[in-house]
Structure 1
Amino acid sequence: MDVAEENSEEALLIKQHRKEKKEVQAKIQCMKNSVPKNDKKRRKQMTEDIAKLEAEVEARHKEKLEALAQKPTEPTQVSSITNGVTSLDLGSEEPVQQPRVSKAQKRREKKAAQEKERDDRIAEAEIANLSGARHLESQKLAQILAERELQIRQIPSDGHCMYRAIEHQLNEQGNSLTVANLRSQTADYMQKRAEDFLPFLTNSSTGDMYTQEEFQKYCTDIVNTPAWGGQLEIYATCVWTGGALQFCGTTGHKYREQLVLPDINCHLEDGDL
């Protein structure tokens, strides 16, 4: 192609279209990098957005080239425009290099996606509960506690709720223990007295009592994950903190209380939990 052809209207238009194609590819790559692979809902929407974006670009470019082709031109010029349309293929462009994402960043993004997914589930459940039995029971409990000059303190259902509740009450008494402290020392107490807790832990698949390895993992999860605290953790926390824990709740229309005392010398038996 000589200088005149390079500066012709159709050549400049094709050059502009190529530039726009590269910009679109860069934008598409950024869209792909911004959505976690495990977020199926957002990735589905992203795929639709990409398809729509590509279609819009193709349609706009085709319209401009066809408009240019309608102008009086020499046969060779029309041919060059047609060839230009054929050569404009999104798939033929070289991929745009994007900044490399570190492993730490990937872990942060994965954790953020998991937390968002969990928060979404919690929010949906809370909305559903507004007209459910749980909400009505909460209202009943609040009324009973108000008569005793007590009140309900809202704590996020993030897996740490039991420990956060105990942390709050201890802090009210001037104790500076944190959720991390409570989890760590509760797991430590249970590990040192495994014989008291193992009979109450069974493998959900086999129904057999936990092995030492399974029990060790159970205790490790108490420390390192937002695993929910149950009766075993309540008992262990009560004993090593040396404080009595009183639990209030409603079952249907019935109000009930449970008092756990820090009897260090007692051993758990079937029916205690």
Structure 2
Amino acid sequence: MDTAESLEALQARHRKEQRDLVARTTQKKKSATKKTRKGVNDECERLEQELKERQAQELAALNGVAIGESAAEPEVLEVEDEEDQLNGAEKAVEGLSIASPQPKGTTDPLEPQGGSKKPSRAKARLARRAAEQEALVAQAKAEAANLPDRREIERTQMKAHFGKYGLQEKEIRADGHCLYSAIADQIEARELGLEPRIEPKVNTEDLKLPAYKKVRHAAADFIEQNPDDFVGFMEEPLDAYLQKIRETGAWGGHLELQALAKTYGVKINVLQADGRVDKIEPEEADEDAKEIWLGYYKHNFGLGEHYNSLRKAP
């Protein structure tokens, strides 16, 4: 493959990477809440900076071949980054400035004898390329801005279902404990008086655990005493899995909901934006079993999947 073809291929890949990144970061920023916005912005800046640096290195390396090398005295490329802002959100691609030192005793035919340097053809080519890339970034940003706001759509759909079931939402803090905090809120708000069937294993000094921690221990203890029902669905050893539930902020999912439904003897209804209600039944089918409601979100919170508590409307 000749140098021109290699350069065209690199340019095409860079343009695609920039469009993809702008679409990703724009969607991330749309989905961010006030609490998560700083973290999301930091992550987007990091991704943009990494792409910018990598593309600058690739472009500089390729132009080092395109401009030519001397076996006696290798050519030195100096790459200067110029960082532009697009409306304070996306950063434009940098222009690259390349300067090539001349061997001793020679002069640049394009350089006037008065000392002022004319831009080299390589610099002009790189400037045109930077302008083209800036235009592509702006176009990708405009396209991303026209994408549907999945967060707003999900929120609107969810609210439409609350009236059908006579529910109102109690928002739970968006952290790794949201499933357990929502369960704890349901037990307390509905005054269900539920206690786990297996006495939680906690130390004496841990008796004042937050409510969500008690729910975490209840789930872990039930799984530990009924391993055959759960280990087939785990991607890690049982001990490590239980340690994550009890001692970390790892998210809970369907396995933990099953364990909680069985240990508390309660029906857990999980409402989703499309109107589907996933029903997790207690170990023994009981038509008179108490029930609780959770709202499950995929797009509404910056950290990803999230559970809110759905209380009975007054």
The alignment's TM-score, normalised by the length of structure 2, stands at 0.38
* Bigger Rg, which one: 1
Structure number with the bigger relative contact order (C-alpha 8 A, sep ≥ 6) is 2
More strand by share: 2
More helix by share: 1
